[in-house]
Amino acid sequence: MHLFKYRLLQTIREKDLIFWSLLFPLILGTFFYMSFWKMSNSMGEQEDSWETIPVAVIEKDTTSQEAAYFSQFIDEINGNVIEIKDYSSEEAAITALQNDEITGVYYVDKEPSLSIAKSGINQSILNGMLDSYMKNAQIMMDIATDHPENIQKLMTEYSTMTDSGDYLSDVDLSGKTMNPMIAYFLALIAYCCISGAFMGVHASFTSQANLSALGARRSITPTKKIVLVLTDLAVLVLIHFVNIMILTLYVWKVLKIPLGIPIVPMLVTNLMGSIVGISLGIIIGATSKAGIGVKTGLTVLLTLLPAFLAGLMYGNMKNIIELHAPIINRINPAAVLSDTYYALGVFSDYGRYHRNILTLLAMSVLLLSIAFFSLRRERYDSI
């Protein structure tokens, strides 16, 4: 407990460690929220607030059966996709079209047509509806010509199909519909886990007698090396687990990002992520004789690169790697962590979750074993 207490105090007083392992992810999360999340939400609101497209309808032919069918089609979509504006004449409708008061003018005729004044999304929608109607009408005419005995059956089936409630039903796929921007925040939490490497590097640096005065004092104590290593590991995992939970709660409760991850699996994943991150840092610190500046620079590279491959900077990067080199996603701890969060938050896939947790556990055991044997074999001629 004595070792635990003073190692805890020493670690939390290191401002550089707190910045890289906690403050930097919080800053990134805030920037992600301001740049990605707000933008995606505003786009979603625009998509949800659909406005009907104003059009005019000019009846050129009121006698033919084809014109009657098209007129019926226009009436059915009025108020849903389009909004028909009444004008006294064709000239008044064309003037309104040129003044941008309406988007298009439909002509009810034996062969229906559309007039637009410029190109745009709404104009493309109007043109697409006309093309779709013309194709369906042609299919009906072909069947009526070649197989007139089936026309009544076709009309009945078509009427049934247009009523989506008769042939569509909601199916629960045990998943959740999520904004794709959430992938950035999941990758951010994974990066925060890996950033525990900064603490691991610092701890291993201060444990080596040839690199720091504190390491020299610790090396001459009668305390067994395994006790020192395990104490350091317990302190660092505790501190970093708290850091990860602070970031998670900040993203979830303060930024209001709906992660959709159950509490207990999230705690387990964050704990495993903190162990992997700390273990990676101990490896970097224990296997190199370079100074703390060089080791810190190497740690920046070895934390940001896996985070980049996991989709922190480019959300689709992990999918690209999965397509071309999937083995990288299997050995990249940041990718495994983000995939674990994704499996829980999107698919509720506990089989995938358990496989990822076992993978993280195997990574932790391997990294810690290498780190322990690297530190254990350290011997000094003079201290």
Is the domain defined by 53-159 classed in CATH 3.20.20.100?
no
- What's the confidence (pLDDT) of residue 311? 87
Task: Calculate what percentage of the chain has a pLDDT beyond 70.
Answer: 81
Residue 323 has φ and ψ, to the nearest 5°, of -75, -40
DSSP 176: -
Cβ atoms of 201 and 295 closer than 8 Å: yes
- What's the confidence (pLDDT) of residue 174? 47
| Spatial CB neighbours of 12, under 8 Å, sequence gap ≥ 6 | 18, 239
What are the tens digits of pLDDT across the range 56-99?
A: 999 988 788 888 888 888 888 888 788 999 888 889 999 999 99
Pairwise CA distance, residues 68 & 364, whole Å: 73
> How many residues are listed for the chain in this entry?
383
What are the tens digits of pLDDT across the range 104-119?
A: 999 998 889 999 988 7
- What's the confidence (pLDDT) of residue 235? 92
| Secondary structure of residue 55 in the 3-state scheme | strand
Q: What is the CA radius of gyration of the chain?
A: 32
What are the tens digits of pLDDT across the range 309-358?
A: 998 888 788 888 988 899 999 999 999 999 999 888 877 888 999 999 99
Cβ atoms of 83 and 74 closer than 8 Å: no
pLDDT at 163 over 50: no
pLDDT at 261 over 70: yes
**In the structure, what pLDDT confidence band is assigned to residue 382 with cuts at 50, 70 and 90?**
low
Pairwise CA distance, residues 378 & 226, whole Å: 12
pLDDT at 41 over 90: no
Q: Please give the model's pTM, rounded to 2 decimal places.
A: 0.63
Alpha helices in 119-181 (DSSP H): 121-146, 151-162
Pairwise CA distance, residues 78 & 73, whole Å: 9
| Spatial CB neighbours of 305, under 8 Å, sequence gap ≥ 6 | none
Of the candidates 361, 200, 166, the one whose C-alpha atom is nearest the C-alpha of residue 282 is 200
| Spatial CB neighbours of 242, under 8 Å, sequence gap ≥ 6 | none
Cβ atoms of 200 and 281 closer than 8 Å: yes
Which residue has 């530190």 as its token pair?
375
Describe the strand order of the beta sheet including 82-85 as a list of residue ranges.
82-85, 53-59, 104-108, 113-116
Cβ atoms of 341 and 311 closer than 8 Å: no
| Spatial CB neighbours of 6, under 8 Å, sequence gap ≥ 6 | none
Determine the distance from the C-alpha atom of residue 129 to the mean position of all C-alpha atoms in its chain, rounded to a whole number. Answer: 34
Which residue has 């194709």 as its token pair?
135
Task: Calculate what percentage of the chain has a pLDDT beyond 90.
Answer: 26
- Residue type at position 117: A
- Bigger pLDDT: 184 or 240? 240
- What's the confidence (pLDDT) of residue 173? 46
Where do the structural domains in the chain lie, given as residue ranges? 2-42+178-376, 53-159
- What's the confidence (pLDDT) of residue 156? 61
